[in-house]
Structure 1
Amino acid sequence: MEGDGAEERLLRKTEAEVEEVETLKEKIWKENKKLWVVAAPAIFTRFSTFGINVISQAFIGHIGATELAAYSLVFTVLLRFANGILLGMASALETLCGQSYGAKQYPMLGIYLQRSWIVLFICSVCLVPVFIFTAPILKALGQDEAIADMAGTIALWLIPVMFSFIPSFTCQMFLQAQSKNMIIAYLAAFSLAIHVLLSWLLTVKYKFGIPGAMFSTILAFWLPNVGQLAFVICGSCGETWKGFSMLAFKDLWPVVKLSLSSGAMLCLELWYNTVLVLLTGNLDNAEVAIDALSICLNINGWEMMISLGFLAAAGVRVSNELGRGSSAAAKFSIVNVVITSLAIGSVLFIFFLFFRGHLAYIFTTDEDVASAVADLSPLLALSILLNSVQPVLSGVAVGAGWQSIVAYVNMACYYLIGIPIGAVLGYVVNLEVKGVWIGMLFGTFVQTVVLVIITYKTDWDKQVSMAKIRINKWAVAAEPNGNTQDA
């Protein structure tokens, strides 16, 4: 009889373990559905946006070498600079909207969206003089006069593109927080198709040159914005958009502070690769080194679109769960998104190691450049592996509102560790471009380790309390007529 009782208890234990496993599987399945609802459209949208620039560059390349050099210079330095600032500042909206949506403070999302429009518009106006005076700035920096003059012309055309980032970034983050960003992917695909057709018509068939190419580029950036704004304002976000409100002009300073922290965090990351190119440009045989590095960074740039998609998804999932008040769900979502992104990064790591000798021939026929790319491929593969974790942890920081902390981490790891080590290995030890890149990778590795430690040691119950304080401080209540007022 005693044996029967022991057997029964063992059976119950086994059944409980099976039930627990099934519950965990169900939990993983539900979390992955929530993750991919945000990540898939975000990845596709970023691929499409990156594709617009590639298409513009390809068609401008058929106009002339000077025009191509000028566009590449303006896009790489100027537009990426503005993009980094505005995208970084807009990521504050990801924190605020995500946490408010999780807390079911739906009317606040529309107020935050309008506040972000105000902050980003003021920032964009401050950036306009840089675009207007591009030519004299480049000449003062020693650039070729013909290229600088053409860059000045192209920069004027790119002012509307810079302003297009305001509704683009903010609407994306507003919709992502609600897991309604599939519409963004549809609009991005439509815009990309129109851009290819219009670029061909205006530059190849009708020979309108730079004005034709730039008109198509401006249209490609603004078309999705029109669709996104219509989707937001015309009823598809009825719970979260209650119309324009004067509350948008209240409590702007906390939004400005969070936006500045977010901008600093992202800009310090985006400019890191620019420093890598600048350091490489001063090495011996710089032309081959820069060509090889450009190919590697181009491949890395495409892969980064996947990582940035997971960054967005991590920010949404963490902010939603913190706003909802569930620290356990927030931690589970972090583990899930890191493992998912790392699995994809590991596959790509193996792929680029295996095909290291063949990658360059997609972009060049030069044997020296191809050999240099093959030599750099292990570093490219390692970069891709690190990129599968580091941006996700940055997304966790965005979701929790730690942008200022990560900005300090980025400054220390990238600019006080990575760049000095890269300079020493590249110039003093004479490892050249490999040395520069190894130093930069070491900085990224240290940053990743620091973010892992911060994330692991974080008191997530305290983060839930902090999110609740932030939400309650700026919350508004809905009036019977659908407008909003202070809570």
Structure 2
Amino acid sequence: MDHRVREREDECREALLRGDAEERQVTVTACCRSLWRRVFEESKKLWVIVGPAIFTRSTNYSMNVIMQAFAGHLGDLELASVSFACTVLVGFNYGIMLGMASALETLCGQAFGAKKFHMMGVYMQRSWIILFICALLLLPLYFVAEDVLLLTGQPPEVAAMAGRVAIWFIPLHFSFAFLFPLQQFLQCQLKNSVVAITSAAALCFHIAITWLFFSWLQLGLAGVALALSISWWLTTLMLFAYVTCGGCPDTWHGFSVEAFAGIWEFVKLSSASGVMLCLEHWYYRILIVLTGNLNDTAVAADALTI
């Protein structure tokens, strides 16, 4: 394809040099059409990859928005508490673990390019191990969430309610350790559409189960937080089932003890990736924390969250 494009460009240059004005105009028009055709073809290839990725990220954020929208019907204090628990605490851990999982994208991309397909499954299992250990190390933050928020200057009533809600986000916290490597693993194989489809299914399920817990079972904040955790775990289980049930025959050969080899080198790479990416996610979280120093914190946090 590149050889034919270069030949076409050489023909255009030669025609411009030897032709008259009318021939040059025709040649320029043909070259422009050829350029736009190539741009269109490359754009189609690009959107096949980035389109599902954009949709996936949008649906993931939409589940958080839906959860906060339902919480807003309970009152200003409830919405502010969920915002602090989900956006600040969970968002803090989200940034760290997503950054650490991004190291898998580099390794899987190299293995895919080198046609060492079986190593992609090994790398994913290694990432599961490291992120699960990281999730365990970050777990105490959910039990001391109230004290942490008080130290940052949040009002006692907001910190107390956010601390209670944070406990219900623990299942969501552990889903990150398995979901992020699965997504990176599939995206490196250009299986973005699979991730997008499962995300869409989880979003529809999330809307239904949140309404069920909130409107019918009357579970309040605990219900909307638990519904979010269940929806994220549903996405994780669907992707895991796809990978292990034959969706990736070349890259998944089952669980292997080889995943425990080279853990320390993987930790160093994951830690560096985590630091680079988590700072990006913390900027907005810092703004939410700063609202604790404003008058009428609940209203200020609600407005900034919306």
TM-score past 0.5 threshold: yes
Any idea what the Cα deviations from partners look like across 1:29-77, whole Å, max 9, x if unmatched?
4432332122111111111111111111111222344332211111121
**1:239 aligned partner:** 250
Q: 1:17 to 1:202 in 2, by over 3 A?
A: same
- For residues 99 and 57 of structure 1, the distance between their equivalents in structure 2, rounded to whole angstroms, comes to 39
Kept after mapping to 1: 8 A contact 2:144/2:163: yes
Provide the TM-score with structure 2 as the length reference. 0.83
Give the C-alpha shift of residue 139 in structure 1.
Answer: 3.3
SS of 2:139 mapped into structure 1:
helix
- For residues 15 and 257 of structure 2, the distance between their equivalents in structure 1, rounded to whole angstroms, comes to 70
Moved more, 77-86 or 263-272: 263-272
Give the C-alpha shift of residue 22 in structure 1.
Answer: 6.7
Find out whether 1:271 has 2:282 as its counterpart. Answer: yes
Match of 2:86 among 59, 75, 79: 75
Count of aligned pairs? 289
What is the correspondence of 1:58-457 to structure 2 with a 5 Å cutoff? 58-277=69-288, 294=304
Kept after mapping to 2: 8 A contact 1:88/1:262: yes
Give the C-alpha shift of residue 7 in structure 1.
Answer: 8.2
Q: 1:280 to 1:227 in 2, by over 3 A?
A: closer
- For residues 280 and 243 of structure 1, the distance between their equivalents in structure 2, rounded to whole angstroms, comes to 48
Match of 2:18 among 1, 10, 15: 10
Give the C-alpha shift of residue 145 in structure 1.
Answer: 3.0
**1:40 aligned partner:** 51
Give the C-alpha shift of residue 199 in structure 1.
Answer: 1.3
- For residues 60 and 249 of structure 1, the distance between their equivalents in structure 2, rounded to whole angstroms, comes to 42
- For residues 134 and 280 of structure 1, the distance between their equivalents in structure 2, rounded to whole angstroms, comes to 17
Q: 1:127 to 1:285 in 2, by over 3 A?
A: closer
Q: Percent identity?
A: 45
By relative contact order (CA 8 Å, sep 6+), the higher-ranking structure is 2
Give the C-alpha shift of residue 285 in structure 1.
Answer: 10
Give the C-alpha shift of residue 28 in structure 1.
Answer: 3.4
Give the C-alpha shift of residue 24 in structure 1.
Answer: 5.1
SS of 2:62 mapped into structure 1:
helix
Any idea what the Cα deviations from partners look like across 1:81-106, whole Å, max 9, x if unmatched?
00000000011111111222122221
SS of 1:269 mapped into structure 2:
helix
Gaps of 5+ in 2: 1-13
- For residues 157 and 298 of structure 2, the distance between their equivalents in structure 1, rounded to whole angstroms, comes to 20
SS of 2:218 mapped into structure 1:
coil
> AA paired with 1:186?
I
- For residues 292 and 222 of structure 2, the distance between their equivalents in structure 1, rounded to whole angstroms, comes to 31
- For residues 223 and 93 of structure 2, the distance between their equivalents in structure 1, rounded to whole angstroms, comes to 23
Provide the TM-score with structure 1 as the length reference. 0.54
Kept after mapping to 2: 8 A contact 1:63/1:203: no
- For residues 83 and 276 of structure 1, the distance between their equivalents in structure 2, rounded to whole angstroms, comes to 17
- For residues 141 and 254 of structure 2, the distance between their equivalents in structure 1, rounded to whole angstroms, comes to 34
- For residues 84 and 15 of structure 2, the distance between their equivalents in structure 1, rounded to whole angstroms, comes to 75
Give the C-alpha shift of residue 210 in structure 1.
Answer: 2.7
- For residues 286 and 53 of structure 1, the distance between their equivalents in structure 2, rounded to whole angstroms, comes to 21
Match of 1:28 among 28, 35, 39: 39
Any idea what the Cα deviations from partners look like across 1:143-181, whole Å, max 9, x if unmatched?
333332222221111111011112221111111111112
> AA paired with 2:124?
L
Any idea what the Cα deviations from partners look like across 1:242-265, whole Å, max 9, x if unmatched?
111111111122221111111100
> AA paired with 1:230?
A
Q: 1:39 to 1:84 in 2, by over 3 A?
A: same
- For residues 132 and 69 of structure 1, the distance between their equivalents in structure 2, rounded to whole angstroms, comes to 19
